[in-house]
Amino acid sequence: MSLLDKFIGAKQLKSGLENAGKDPTNVVFDSINSATEGVVDGRVTILAGTNNYLGLTFNPDCVAAGVSALKSDGTGTTGSRMANGSYATHGALEAELADFFQCDQAMVFSTGYAANLGVLSALLGKGDAVLLDSDAHASLYDGCRMSEADVFRFKHNDMQSLEKRLTRLGDRASRCLIVIEGMYSVLGDCAPLAEVVALKERFGAHLLVDEAHSLGVFGPRGCGVAEEQGVLDKVDFIVGTFSKSLGAMGGFCASQHDVLGLFRYVSRPFMFTASPSPSVIATTREALRQLRTRPELKETLWSNARQLYTGLQDLGFELGPQLSPVIAVRCQDRESALFNWNQLLQAGVYVNMMLPPATPGGACFLRCSIGAAHTAEQISTIIEKFAEL
């Protein structure tokens, strides 16, 4: 077997996707007209799979902040903060994030993926243990593997499974990090964080929560599921991304622990990746300001999510276990998922097609993510197009 033979399977997958219609990994938007509408193959298409939860990607103030930063600070930093230094706005965003999460410190990374790799590889090493939810995102898995710690999975949102794992660790529990998400990205279900915190404290472990999809969505102030469940101050490390509710690109970690400030000296994804460009930092800061000062965005988001969830449920579709802005429609098999996804796209509705191995239980889903910018009419159209399936 040669070095390149390993790609035979990928080639077959690509061919199978193309034979079923349009390849979902290669959808090209001719133009993006707004936070909720684009053009695919000359056809106006409702964007119902973009994770644009607060709908801020075309917000005039966010755009203006980015344009201003481009003019004043240029297009990019051309290097890492370790090598090229930090811009004042990097530190300003970190201070604003720390204040938002009511933590002592925050740290900004170039992507959400890099944040998870950078935090986990800095926190963990040989001899440490990780207890990882079985449905955790690929970036969390990769960060744990990169750390060389011993990785043990527990059943998704199963507290008995987590307790058994902690019990087996014995004295090693004090060197254990529990890694979970606030809201899981495929089915939109949430972790029972209050119960996780109780186990963490009982066994003396530490807890990292990825609030990537729950930032701006849950909690009185939009901090995420930890705030929603009243345990924000009990979480040791909060990580997340700017690419969902904040409509930009980048990642972060916030923590009460002083060691976060030392990650800059040991976190390779931070040390050796170019820092976020000034325009990205500027739009992120403005989006964070709007998240904090415009509670009506979250209210509209949930109203829209409720409309779509109820509408699809009334049609008889099998959905995720709880109402959230992520609404996954279960398909019978891979072939029906491919067919229905193509039918929706041709009807002017873009959703995400989720196939194994990236799905819970090896199931196939058509995944919608609704935002505050969607209109009631657009959601009604989405429901109508699903009904035609």
| Domain extent listing, the chain | 9-47+295-387, 60-293
Q: What pLDDT does residue 368 have? A: 98
Helix (H, G, I), strand (E, B) or coil at 206: strand
263 and 233 Cβ atoms separated by less than 8 Å: no
Nearest 10 degrees: Cα torsion 90, 93, 99, 104 = -20
Q: Residues in the chain, how many? A: 389
In angstroms, how far is CA 239 from the centroid of its own chain?
10
Q: What pLDDT does residue 311 have? A: 98
359: CB partners within 8 A, 6+ apart: 186, 365
Nearest to 291 by CA among 35, 56, 91: 56
- Check the CA dihedral 141-147-153-158 and report its sign: negative
Nearest to 59 by CA among 250, 241, 303, 246: 246
Report residue 378 as tokens. Answer: 């657009």
Question: Token match 């029972």: residue?
Answer: 192
d(CA 56, CA 61): 9
d(CA 187, CA 360): 8
Q: What pLDDT does residue 357 have? A: 84
Neighbours of 335 (CB within 10 A): 12
Instruction: Specify the CATH number of the domain 9-47+295-387.
Output: 3.90.1150.10
Strands 349-350 and 364-369: unpaired
Topology classification of domain 60-293: Aspartate Aminotransferase; domain 2 (3.40.640)
What is the C-alpha radius of gyration for the chain, rounded to an integer number of angstroms?
21
Q: What pLDDT does residue 138 have? A: 94
Question: Token match 């959703």: residue?
Answer: 351
Q: What pLDDT does residue 245 have? A: 98
Neighbours of 115 (CB within 10 A): 28
98 and 105 Cβ atoms separated by less than 8 Å: yes
Q: What pLDDT does residue 19 have? A: 84
Per DSSP, 254 falls in state E
Sheet with 251-255: list strands edge to edge: 105-109, 251-255, 237-241, 206-210, 176-181, 129-133, 150-154
Nearest to 249 by CA among 82, 113, 89: 113
Q: What pLDDT does residue 153 have? A: 97
Phi-psi region of 331 (alpha: psi -120 to 50; beta: other; left: phi over 0): beta
Give the pLDDT of the chain (389 residues) as one tens digit per residue: 899 999 998 899 888 888 888 888 889 999 999 999 999 999 999 999 999 999 999 999 999 999 999 999 999 999 999 999 999 999 999 999 999 999 999 999 999 999 999 999 999 999 999 999 999 999 999 999 999 999 999 999 999 999 999 999 999 999 999 999 999 999 999 999 999 999 999 999 999 999 999 999 999 999 999 999 999 999 999 999 999 999 999 999 999 999 999 999 999 999 999 999 999 999 999 999 999 999 999 999 999 999 999 999 999 999 999 999 999 999 999 999 999 999 999 999 999 999 988 888 889 999 999 999 999 999 999 999 999 99
Helix (H, G, I), strand (E, B) or coil at 164: helix
339 and 353 Cβ atoms separated by less than 8 Å: no
Q: What pLDDT does residue 358 have? A: 81
Residue 155 exposed, middle or buried by CB count within 10 Å (0-12, 13-18, 19+) = middle
